[in-house]
Amino acid sequence: MATEIEQQAMRRALEAARATSRTLPNPRVGCVLLDAGGLELGVGAHEGAGSPHAEVRALEAAHEAGHDVRGATAVVTLEPCDHTGRTGPCTRALLEAGVARVVHGQSDPDPAAAGGAGTLAAHGVDVEGGVLAEEAEALNVEWTHAVVTGRPFVTWKYAATLDGLSAAPDGSSKWITSAEARRDVQRFRAEADAIMAGTGAVLSDDPRLSVRSEDDLPLPYALQPLRVVVGETTIPSYYRVFDRVAPTLLIQSRDPEVVLERLVQDGIRHVWLEGGPRLAGAFWNAGLIDRVIGYIAPAMLGSGRAALEGEATTLADMRPLEITDLTTVGPDIRIVAIPGRAPREEMP
């Protein structure tokens, strides 16, 4: 059973992983190395595809500090990988370093990379898994979902008035929510690897669909999620979605399954879905929205366009939401929720 020191090290590994920028399509991973007495030798975190994994970073940090890692314990948020991709397997790095014990949180759900615990154990390493597993799994909800289901995780974000309207009768929608809410959205956008909108929303609002800093400056191109525009309507080349700030992909289809299939082929794990209500409705009706983030302004319109265009005809079509977070952002309310199944879907 993991010691209290090892559990504390796991919490530090989780913090190190959370502090990284977007690592998708790879998972966030943190690692802490301990000596036999529980002294911290090195900390590492994975920073994105092609960069060293967390275990290697921690070993490098320990060596740079002049520590001998032979006989050490590696505390890792995710089971060490056992395959060669753009980098070598972490199991090999740990074995070559002489690590004697490995404590990990989440088991690797990726068949291509799993098996690291077994390989380490077969070479005489003491292995314990499932330590703070719930927290470790929460670190990579979107990545895990994509690996297990074979399709990207979809987060739908919308902004609406208290009476559920996202645009006035004349089509105007800027700005329903506050500047604080819009800055908050940028933080969430940066955690996805694709930002998607329909052609209707692009034509009406001319959005950037990119991530900007607190100073309203675009993040570097390499840190920008892929911009995805879905629909069959032509978008003029002078629209901002085609600027050089971020890459843009056009998908001429209205079928959500086709769209997600194309994106998973491009390695996309987490889609941030914005505007408009018709595209969101198509994904909602298909049961392909995995998280809802709504920003609710303390205001009423009375008439206008609803935030979602679904196909419900009776209360039996109403789909419940499990609220996982409720907070104020400036004058607005931010609701984070997970969709459940409609009562009709639960009938035998």
28 and 91 share one domain: yes
| Residues 221, 80 share a domain | no
Spatial separation of the C-alpha atoms in residues 141 and 139, rounded to whole Å:
6
Mean pLDDT by 10 residues, the chain (348 residues): 93 94 89 94 91 94 94 96 81 95 94 88 96 95 94 95 86 85 92 93 89 80 91 92 94 93 94 89 93 95 85 82 95 95 57
Q: Determine the pLDDT at residue 226.
A: 95
The amino acid at 202: V
Distances (CA, A) of 124 to 27, 89, 113, 117: 27, 17, 20, 11
Q: What is the pLDDT of residue 200?
A: 87
**Are both 93 and 126 inside the same structural domain?**
yes
Q: What's phi and psi for 306, nearest 5 deg?
A: -70, 155
209 and 122 together in one domain? no
Whether residues 246 and 156 fall in one domain: yes
What are the two backbone dihedrals, phi and then psi, of residue 57, each rounded to the nearest 5 degrees?
-60, -45
Nearest partner of 210 among 188, 195, 230, 198, judged by Cα: 195
**Same domain membership, residue 302 and residue 159:** yes
173 and 279 both lie in a single domain: yes
How far apart are alpha carbons 277 and 159 in whole angstroms? 11
Q: Which of 140, 160, 189 is the last residue of a domain?
A: 140
The answer on 320 and 259 residing in a single domain is yes
CATH number of the domain within which 155 lies: 3.40.430.10
pTM of the model: 0.88
Q: Which two tokens stand for residue 19?
A: 């502090």
Q: Which of 121, 140, 159 is a domain's end point?
A: 140
Q: Can you give the residue range of the structural domain that contains 109?
A: 4-140
What's the domain count of the chain? Answer: 2
The pLDDT of residue 342 is: 60
Q: Is 55 a catalytic residue?
A: yes
CA pair distance 168, 176, nearest whole angstrom: 10
Q: Give the pLDDT confidence score for residue 59 in this predicted structure.
A: 96
Residues 115 and 157 in one domain: no
Which is catalytic among the residues 55, 79, 142, 274? 55
Assess whether 28 and 174 both reside in one domain.
Answer: no
Last residue of a domain, one of 109, 140, 171: 140
Query: Do 207 and 336 fall into the same domain?
Result: yes
Contacts of 202 (CB under 8 A, 6+ apart): 209, 229, 235, 239, 241
| Block residue for tokens 């927290």 | 135
Has residue 145 been placed in a domain?
no
Establish how many alpha carbons lie within 13 A of residue 126's alpha carbon, considering only the half-sphere containing its beta carbon.
Answer: 9
Encoded tokens for 16: 């190190």
Same domain, 280 and 176: yes
pLDDT at res. 50: 81
